[in-house]
């Protein structure tokens, strides 16, 4: 039997390999183009991974819509303490109350809440509370006027707008706040000092001839000074002025007529007991110059005139920077 040629066998093997290759290619094309079979396990795993990813992002707050500022716990806010100082000052004037104004920046809105609540409980008839967010546009003129930069700060205003106390960064205690609740006559003196006016302060009793004459002399002198001096009179029988009398060291039982000259820095320049003349009042102004515009060891309003106990002390040391808002 004759053997087949070797070349023919090689050609057949090459053909077989080619056929196998073509079949593999066709199978691959069929798998690629035909609809895929459902793979429930893989799809379930994919959906589960997507849900888990979304849950994780939601738990970190990445997919949450922006929330209102007052609902965020990670940011201190001013929304529940809107600016209301002017409304409270108007209310206080009508009700003859003081205003405790709380100035604060973001993050300090509730820092002194405990103190403020105690003050409201202690002086419900004498005090109202106002809030001043320092970022508010309406607060900017006030910050410049009173030179306020630090938060928190408390200013206390008398019914006439005089600043009767100021506390920056360090919270006052209740006894300190008690000193800011002043009489109407003390508020008049403080306001005059804060507006850089001299004060002729007269104490006496209505019906007393000396007191009435002194009052007229003081008014005439103030008129001649054309707005440089104010007259504050205290009738012991009718006016509550125990805080002024205590600062001046006058006994409540004293019946004598007293006249005090107070400098624009709050310093006590001169004291006259009994009758006065315009000459004696004008002579007292020379003492103001001798005492460096009234800087002294004691003021009628409390504290030193170079470091006043009322209002916000000026950077220059002498005088109070607090002024009336009116």
Domain boundaries of the chain, sorted by first residue: 85-178, 184-308
160: closest CA among 185, 125, 179? 185
State both tokens at 16: 């077989």
Model pTM greater than 0.75? Answer: no
As a whole number of angstroms, the distance between CA 206 and CA 59 comes to 76
Per-residue pLDDT of the chain (326 residues; tens, 9 = 90+): 444 444 444 546 566 566 666 666 676 665 555 554 444 444 443 444 444 444 443 333 333 333 333 333 333 455 678 999 999 999 999 999 999 999 999 999 999 999 999 999 999 999 999 999 999 999 999 999 999 999 999 999 999 999 999 999 999 999 999 999 999 999 999 999 999 999 999 999 888 999 999 999 999 999 998 889 999 999 988 888 888 888 888 776 677 899 999 988 888 889 999 999 999 998 887 767 665 544 444 566 665 433 334 443 333 333 333 333 33
| Cα 118 from chain centre | 18
As a whole number of angstroms, the distance between CA 61 and CA 192 comes to 56
116 contacts 122 by C-beta, under 8 angstroms: no
Question: How far are the Cα atoms of 1, 50, 68, 229 from residue 64, in angstroms, in the given order?
Answer: 88, 16, 12, 64
β-partners of residue 153 are 103, 168
Burial class (CB in 10 A: 0-12, 13-18, 19+), 111: middle
Cis status, amide bond into 152, omega within 30 of 0: yes
CATH class, 184-308 region: alpha beta
Q: Could you tell me the CATH superfamily of domain 85-178?
A: Glutaredoxin (3.40.30.10)
């Amino acid at each position: 039997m004759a053997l087949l040629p070797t070349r023919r066998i090689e050609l057949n093997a090459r053909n077989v390999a080619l056929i196998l290759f073509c079949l593999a290619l066709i199978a691959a094309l069929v798998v690629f183009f035909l609809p895929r079979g459902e793979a429930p396990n893989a799809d379930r795993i994919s959906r589960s991974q997507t849900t888990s990813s979304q849950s994780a992002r939601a738990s970190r707050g990445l997919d949450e819509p922006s929330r209102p500022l007052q609902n965020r716990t990670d940011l201190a806010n001013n929304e529940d303490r809107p600016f209301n100082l002017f409304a409270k000052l108007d209310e206080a004037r009508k009700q003859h109350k003081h205003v405790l104004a709380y100035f604060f920046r973001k993050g300090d809105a509730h820092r002194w809440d405990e103190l403020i609540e105690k003050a409201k409980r202690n002086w419900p008839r004498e005090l109202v509370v106002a809030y001043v967010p320092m970022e508010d546009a309406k607060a900017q003129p006030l910050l410049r006027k009173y030179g306020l930069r630090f938060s928190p700060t408390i200013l206390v205003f008398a019914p006439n707008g005089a600043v009767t106390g100021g506390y920056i960064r360090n919270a006052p205690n209740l006894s300190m706040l008690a000193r800011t609740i002043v009489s109407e006559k003390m508020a008049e003196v403080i306001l005059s000092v804060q507006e850089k006016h001299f004060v002729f302060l007269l104490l006496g009793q209505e019906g007393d001839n000396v007191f009435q004459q002194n009052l007229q002399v003081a008014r005439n002198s103030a008129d001649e000074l054309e707005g440089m001096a104010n007259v504050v009179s205290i009738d012991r029988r009718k006016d509550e002025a125990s805080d002024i009398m205590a600062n001046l060291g006058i006994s409540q039982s004293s019946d004598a007529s007293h006249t005090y000259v107070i400098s624009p820095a709050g310093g006590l320049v001169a004291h006259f007991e009994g009758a006065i003349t315009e000459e004696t009042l004008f002579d007292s102004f020379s003492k103001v110059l001798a005492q460096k515009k009234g800087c002294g060891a004691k003021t009628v309003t409390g504290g030193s005139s170079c470091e006043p106990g009322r209002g916000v002390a000026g950077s220059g040391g002498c005088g109070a920077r607090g002024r009336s808002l009116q």
